[in-house]
Structure formats: C-alpha cells, structure tokens
Amino acid sequence: MDIPRDPKPRKRKRAIQLAIIVGGIVLVTAGLRQLQPAAPSVDSATVWTDTVARGTMIRQVRGPGTLVPQQRRFITAVTAGRVEILHLLPGAVVEPTTSLMRLSNPDVEVQLLESQQQMSNASATLIQLRATLQTQILTQEGLLAQTRTQQQQAKRDYETNQALYERNPELVAANELARTRDLAEELTTRLEIETSRLQVLRESIDEQVRAQEEQVERLRSIVRFNQVRLASLEVPAGVGGVVADLPVEEGAWIQSGGTLARIDQPGRLKAEIRIPQTQAQDVAVGQVALVDTRNDTIQGTVTRIDPGVQNGTVTIDVALPDELPPSARPDLSVDGNVIIDRLDDVVYMGRPAYGQANSRVGIFVLTADRTHAERRNVQLGRSSVNEIEVVEGLEPGDIVILSDMSAWDGHDRVRLRS
C-alpha cells in the first residue's frame, strides 16, 4: 500500500534555492554598480600628440603674403582710345622711351584741330586789336595837337585884344574882347579833356591787349593739352624695368584713366605679409621676420604696418636683403613669420587645435603605459604660431593630445587602441 510523503522538505529546498538565486542577483547587481563605465576607445593613429617641455619659446605670428618690387609703376591711359597694336608682351625689358602699345581715337584729332583754329582766330584778333587801338591813339594825339594849336591861337588873340583894350578902349570892342576870352577858355577846357581822353586810351590799351593775350595763351594751353593727348595714344613705358602685366587686348576700348600696363623697376624686393587682426597688435617695426618661399627662407625686417584692417588682416611690409635666392621673384606667394618675443625658462607645448591664448581648457594627457588618456584642466598663457605657454596643469615630460577631442567632451578618460 502507498504511504503518503510529507511535502514540507521539498518546499523548504525550493525556498532555499530561490533565496540563493535572489541573493546572487543582488550581489551581482551591487558589484556591477561598483564598476566604472568602460572608457571609449580612440584610434591612436588619428590623434596628434606632443611632449610638454621647459625652455625657451619663440613667439611668432604667421600670415600669407606676396613678394613685390619696392618700386613699381602703373601705366594708365591719358585719354580714351581703342588698342590698335601691342608692341610687347609681359616679361619684356623696356626703357623709358620704349613704346608699349598704340591707341586710336579720332575725336582727339578733331579736338586738336578745333583748338588750333580757335587759337589762330584769337591770335588774329589780337593783332587786329593792337592795330585798332594804335590807330585810335594816333587819331587822339592828332586831335589833341589840333586842339592845342587852336587853344594857343585863341589865347594869343585874347591877349592881343586885352592889350589893345587896355591901351585904348576904342581900338577893340568890348564884345570882341569877351568873345576871344570865352573862346580861349573853351579851348583850354577842351585841351584838358582831350589830354585826359588820350591818357585813358593809353591805359585801356594795355588792359585790352593783356586780356586778349591771356585768351590766346589759354587757347595755346588747350592746343598743347590736345597735342599731349594725341601723343599719348602712342603709349611709352615712362620708366626702365620689366613689363609685369598687360591687362589689355588688341581691339579693346580703354577708358581714360584705365590701367594699360604695370612696370616693375629692377631693384630690391619686399614682402607684403597679411597678419590676422587678432595677432597683429604684437607686431612692431624693427622686428625680425622670416619669409618662406617654399624653397628658401629669407630673413628680413618689419618696416611698415598698415594702420587699417582689410578682410580681417593687417598688412605689414618686410624689407629683404639685397642678395636674394633664385626662388625670390615678384608676385611670388610666400609665408611670413614675425618673431615678436622670446620667452626664457617657460613650460610650453605644441598649440592645440581647440585652445586659445590666456584660457583654461581641458586637455587629454597620456597615462604612463600610453594605453589611456585622462582629461586635465590646463591654464594656457601666451601663444605663438605652433606653440603655447603652459601656466599650470601640466609638467615637463607629459605627453598631451593636441588634436581635436571635442567628440569626447562627455568623458574624462579614453582608451587608445593601436
């Protein structure tokens, strides 16, 4: 017969097993909570590192630039015209009298002829005016002489009648004496008037002739100006040098004042370097500058700083030595580094991609085994082109990551994988 078994031991065993499982889950959960999250991995081949050092740091600022002649001249059109022929091409060596091109403009020739005709008419008018005025003076002088003769005759008649009347009143009638007196006074007055008229005529003749002479001189200046305009259609170089640019073509119409050519005069070159406006405040005249031509490095001196800002840059002029390497030529694109300061016994490193001067940034520093990098807060100081001063947060010998690590801003530790 079957004997019923007691179910309590089985239930007790299951309860013990369940308690062990729950306890294990609790312990595992507590252990997982104590673990730190896994550090994200970064390919070590994609990061750029540098070692913090102590020593002398040379502060520099950099900018692109161009080599230009210290003496150059732009040839512009004196008058508008059409380019008929180009005598030379860029690169040609020219003298001041060398003709670069010939222009044509029929209107200039017509204006010259018209001005010459006006000057000829004015010259003829001047000659006629002088003759007319001289004739008027001669006529007035003749009238004056006639009036003087009449006045003297009337005066003698009056004096004779006056003497006869005083000797014997019956010899001359009183009316005749009065008539000769009045005639003498009248002619005396007329003599004074004609004398004054001759004086005025002589004074006015100079003014009239001078005015007409000035008119002739003005027209002569216009003729000379038109002659210069006509002669300018044959364009000379004006200076000796090398034709650097001819920005015109045959058949093109050039407006007055338009650029026809550029002549670079032989001599020394200078570098025009464009420094970013945020770095230009430390540049001063007299500082040493290094000009990189891609093939050679030339040492020069800052001679001028442009007072204005153009397109976010400040242009500086760098004087170069007389003896230049063969790679230095006009209009060559170069890079310029200006040495602005020398810092002795400072801690510095390569300039990071995300750090600015005098700022506090987080920089990843490699651990001793170089398998991980940890973030540190670093105070940066003065900066240069490729280097920056470390004020605090790093020690000489630390290996830091300079490349952009903004993708891991939320992490203080990263793993470097090979």
Distant-in-sequence, close-in-space partners of 270: CB < 8 Å, separation ≥ 6? 67, 68, 69, 70, 300, 303, 317, 318, 319, 320
pTM over cut 0.75: no
Q: Can you tell me which residue has the tokens 């994609």?
A: 46
Q: Which CATH class is domain 41-57+345-417?
A: mainly beta
Decide if 142 contacts 245 (C-beta within 8 A).
no
Decide if 343 contacts 320 (C-beta within 8 A).
no
Q: Which two tokens stand for residue 116?
A: 């010459």
Distant-in-sequence, close-in-space partners of 405: CB < 8 Å, separation ≥ 6? 47, 354, 364, 414
What DSSP string describes 24-49?
Answer: HHHHHHHHHHHSPPPPPEEEGGG--E
**pLDDT for the residue numbered 82:** 93
Tens digits of per-residue pLDDT, 38-55?
678 888 888 889 999 999
Distance, CA of 384 to CA of 393 (rounded, Å): 19
**DSSP-based three-state secondary structure for 140:** helix
Decide if 337 contacts 292 (C-beta within 8 A).
yes
Where helices occur in 256-373 by DSSP H, the ranges are none
| Four-CA torsion 123, 125, 131, 134, nearest 10 degrees | -100
**pLDDT for the residue numbered 1:** 46
Q: Which two tokens stand for residue 163?
A: 């003497």
CA angle 352, 408, 42 (to 5 degrees): 85
C-alpha 232: how far from chain center: 26
- What's the fold here for domain 72-105+233-263? OB fold (Dihydrolipoamide Acetyltransferase, E2P) (2.40.50)
Q: Which two tokens stand for residue 73?
A: 């001249």
**pLDDT for the residue numbered 329:** 83
Distance, CA of 160 to CA of 190 (rounded, Å): 22
Specify the CATH number of the domain 62-69+267-343.
2.40.30.170
Domain boundaries of the chain, sorted by first residue: 41-57+345-417, 62-69+267-343, 72-105+233-263, 107-224
- One digit per residue, the tens of pLDDT, for the chain of length 418 reads 455 555 555 556 666 766 777 766 766 666 545 545 567 888 888 888 999 999 999 888 899 999 988 888 899 998 899 999 999 888 888 998 999 999 999 999 899 999 999 999 999 998 898 888 888 888 888 888 888 888 888 888 888 888 887 887 777 778 887 888 888 888 888 888 888 888 888 888 888 888 888 999 999 999 999 999 999 899 999 888 888 888 999 999 999 889 999 988 767 789 999 999 888 888 999 999 999 998 989 999 999 999 989 999 999 999 999 888 888 888 889 999 999 888 899 999 998 888 788 889 999 999 988 888 999 999 999 888 888 999 999 999 999 999 888 888 888 888 888 7
Long-range contacts of 76-79 (CB under 8 A, 24+ apart): 76/257, 76/258, 76/259, 76/260, 77/103, 77/232, 77/235, 77/254, 77/255, 77/256, 77/257, 77/258, 77/260, 78/228, 78/229, 78/232, 78/256, 79/103, 79/105, 79/108, 79/229, 79/232, 79/233, 79/256
Distance, CA of 413 to CA of 415 (rounded, Å): 7
Q: Which residue type does 212 have? A: Q
